[in-house]
Structure 1
Amino acid sequence: MSSKISKSERTLEGIELANSIEDSAVKLKCLTLLYALFDKFGDQISKKRFKEVFSVTEIGKMIRDDGKSEGKTEILIKLLSKKFKDLPQEYEEKIKKLSSEKIELIATDIFDLEKVEDLEKYF
């Protein structure tokens, strides 16, 4: 099959077409499928353009927010481990289940915590 437009240009057209779908569920399915294909077979231009489009979709925002939340949690666990020399596993598990707001609250209060048991008030 021969074409006058490049694979990259066809890819970009596919991204733009999928992004123009109004039904969010269908759009999500199309973008997810395109992501899998681009990750496996896409060139650098296609991947870059896809990331630009994908990052402004609802799923892109959800993934980004989840990543931020996980990062905050991991940093907090490291800080608490350093502060208390040994953070019990049970506290790590409890912290991982906390909301982002609670994580931020503990991080703000970290200098006021005197012993590891002071974390109990956040659970």
Structure 2
Amino acid sequence: MSYESRPQAYDETIRVLEQKDYRGIAEFILPAVKDADEITPEPVKLSIPDMREVDYLARIKLKKEDFILHIEFESAYKSNIEMQKRMLRYYTYIKWHNDLPIYQVLVVLKKPPRLKNIIGGFKSTVQDMDVMQYQYKVIKAYEIDKYEVLKEEQVVLYPLRVFMKHEGESEEEHIRECLAAVETLPDADYYFLLVECLKKLYEKGRYEKFVKEEIYMSSILYKEPYEKGLEEGKIKILIKLLTKRFGVLPAELKKKIEETDINRIDIMLDEVLDYKSLEEVEQYIQ
């Protein structure tokens, strides 16, 4: 099986995890949040053309203090200056729309290959006057022991364990252990999301043979694009799944699928692993 990129961007992986357990992510970043009186996700759509959406934003009420928690996850850290500018632009935009204090955190997933120190902020001085001091917290995921996450049963972080420290394990052992940790979870989405994270670290040939196809394909995230209501996206996924199982589809059958009612397409996506032959598919859409 080939695990090509799905219609969604990698950034959606983080947002899906946020939807599953936004409080769990906040507690990982800021342990004191466990005692928070209230945590409310703050949906924000950036209107800046060259800026991607924020990864995580929530309003937190903790010990009578209200503030905004903003988290960015970065898997391709290139330079301190570039990241400082990006985080500052996020800060400015969030501040423009909200007067609460902002606690910013950058989670670096992969260790930068050509950068010794990651600096979370900067200080500007002009004519001996300090005109600005800007700072955000930096968490290096690759320095976190992945087994601590497992010990604390922080399930929402399981897909991100692939980026974490795994001393004493070979690359193969690490991949197999991370996959094994999610394969028995009731929610197959975590398995799908972990594979998406593997794609950011390794070439396909290094992990593909360890992925269990039946679990990966059972995730709703595999069957449907992240952006809901895209009927064409669902039809393309169904055709791709059927092609993987039975080979290139006859042109006539492919046309019938493209003309099939979307409700029936949804049912076929749910049952795609149960079809024994293309004849069964043809019988269903007659």
Higher RCO structure (Cα 8 Å, ≥6 apart): 1
Instruction: With the length of structure 1 as denominator, give the TM-score of the two structures.
Output: 0.47
Structure with more helix by fraction: 1
User: Could you tell me the TM-score, scaled by structure 2's length?
Assistant: 0.23
